[in-house]
Chains A and B, each alone.
Chain A
Amino acid sequence: MSESVRRGFIANLPVAASVGAYGSVLGVLAAQKGLGWLALALMNVSVFAGSAQFVMVEMWETPLPIFEITMAVMVINLRYLLIGASLRPLFIGKSLGHKFARMHLVTDENWAVTMAEYRRCGTDTGFLLGGGLCVITAWNAGTLIGHRLGAFVTHPEAFALDFAFVAVFTALAASLFEGKRDILPWLVAAATAIATELFFPGKWYIITGGMAGALVAMLTQPEREVAHVS
């Protein structure tokens, strides 16, 4: 068991490097927003979801829009339903306690590495856990070091830190683009988000844009297998 934890940890070291790098940017932004070091550390270990934490920090202001933040986190992390479901073969025969203990440390990164390993030669939940331990270590190191550095940045605009949020998510979106099938849903998402942002205060545009785009995909896209052939 501990052997597969160790192998999972090592297999995730390359992705952990980029997780740490992202984390340092989040840490700098968090410091600029007045989010404390302790609160960031708490968020890292309890929420432990990169995209959602970026959005939380972006929405961080006084008074905290707690309901809005919770809704935004829920929508951004809805994909974990599918990620969790896809891990079922690894957990066959495991106790409920085992499942509850292992699922917290599942992220996009160690999930992807584990699924690749599973398809290649089969693996177990220890490998998944090892990857999670690797990613959470890098995430804490990156964000908390970034937070310390962020305290020294007095002119964040000069380093384009206000553009970091747009740059991070544009880059992530571009890496998810799968071609023609995505164009219409993404245009609808963008247009809905821009229109919502004009007429409603706060960050509701994340939810309206994301939902509208996904609805268009649901109504217009063929099944994935069919899309592959065309």
Chain B
Amino acid sequence: MYPDLSVALAIALAAIVTYGLRIGGLLLADRLPDSGPFKRFMDALPGTILVSLVAPGIIQAGIWGMVATVLVILTAIKSKNAFFAMLVGMIVVAASRALAGG
């Protein structure tokens, strides 16, 4: 795909939104509550977003995908290394396919 108008637009909008949040947080620092419902909502958001990102994919990934997901979670908690945990999951899925296709 060559860079065309829609590619440039998608990237530009993502960049503007992201920069707006970065600078907005700093400039509005006095007005953003540091306790209460809004803070609890914002604190919970990173975790719930990540869970929502993966939940449908885990369901669709089949039995080995689910096994790999459990191993990713355990590895991430034990090793504290998210990249290593990701590799473990990918190796499990790749190995299961190699054996099945064998």
Q: Shortest Cβ distance from B96 into chain A, in angstroms?
A: 9
Contact-size category for A = 35 or more
The CA of A209 and the CA of B23, in the complex, are separated in Å by 26
A interface SS class: helix
Asked if residues A73 and B48 are in contact (CB atoms below 8 Å), the reply is no
Asked if residues A104 and B19 are in contact (CB atoms below 8 Å), the reply is yes
Interface 9-mer from A3-11, A18-26, A114-122, A145-153: A18-26
Asked if residues A210 and B83 are in contact (CB atoms below 8 Å), the reply is no
Which residues of B from 9 to 58 have beta carbons under 8 Å from A? 9-15, 17-19, 21-30, 32, 34-35, 37-38, 40-58
Asked if residues A217 and B44 are in contact (CB atoms below 8 Å), the reply is yes
A81 contacts across to B, CB distance below 8 A = 21, 24-25, 28, 32, 42
Asked if residues B43 and A36 are in contact (CB atoms below 8 Å), the reply is no
**A229 at the A/B interface (Cβ < 8 Å)?**
no
Which residues of B from 49 to 70 have beta carbons under 8 Å from A? 49-59, 61, 65, 68-69
Q: Shortest Cβ distance from A209 into chain B, in angstroms?
A: 3
B11 contacts across to A, CB distance below 8 A = 39, 42-43, 46-47
Asked if residues A214 and B44 are in contact (CB atoms below 8 Å), the reply is yes
Beyond A81-B24, A88-B29, whether A158 also contacts B48 by CB under 8 A is no
C-beta contact mask, A39-54 vs B, less than 8 Å → 1, else 0? 1001100111101100
Which residues of A from 19 to 39 have beta carbons under 8 Å from B? 21-22, 25, 34-36, 38-39
Q: How many residues of B contact A (CB 8 A)?
A: 75
Beyond A82-B32, A167-B89, A205-B56, whether A47 also contacts B23 by CB under 8 A is no
Among B44, B59, B68, B93, the residue within 8 A (CB) of A194 is B59
Q: In this complex, what residue of B is CB-closest to A94?
A: B26
B15 contacts across to A, CB distance below 8 A = 43, 46-47
Asked if residues B56 and A34 are in contact (CB atoms below 8 Å), the reply is no
The CA of A80 and the CA of B21, in the complex, are separated in Å by 6
Which residues of A from 184 to 227 have beta carbons under 8 Å from B? 185-186, 188-194, 197, 205-219, 221, 223-224
Asked if residues A163 and B52 are in contact (CB atoms below 8 Å), the reply is no
Q: In this complex, what residue of A is CB-closest to B28?
A: A85
Asked if residues A104 and B22 are in contact (CB atoms below 8 Å), the reply is yes
A221 contacts across to B, CB distance below 8 A = 40, 44
B53 contacts across to A, CB distance below 8 A = 55, 165, 169, 193, 206
Which residues of A from 63 to 99 have beta carbons under 8 Å from B? 63-64, 66, 69-70, 73-88, 91, 99
Asked if residues B52 and A85 are in contact (CB atoms below 8 Å), the reply is no
Asked if residues B48 and A189 are in contact (CB atoms below 8 Å), the reply is yes
Asked if residues A217 and B52 are in contact (CB atoms below 8 Å), the reply is no
Which residues of A from 149 to 164 have beta carbons under 8 Å from B? 157-161, 163-164
The CA of A112 and the CA of B65, in the complex, are separated in Å by 32
Q: Shortest Cβ distance from B70 into chain A, in angstroms?
A: 9
A-B CB contact pairs (8 Å), 5 listed = A163-B68, A171-B89, A174-B85, A190-B51, A223-B40
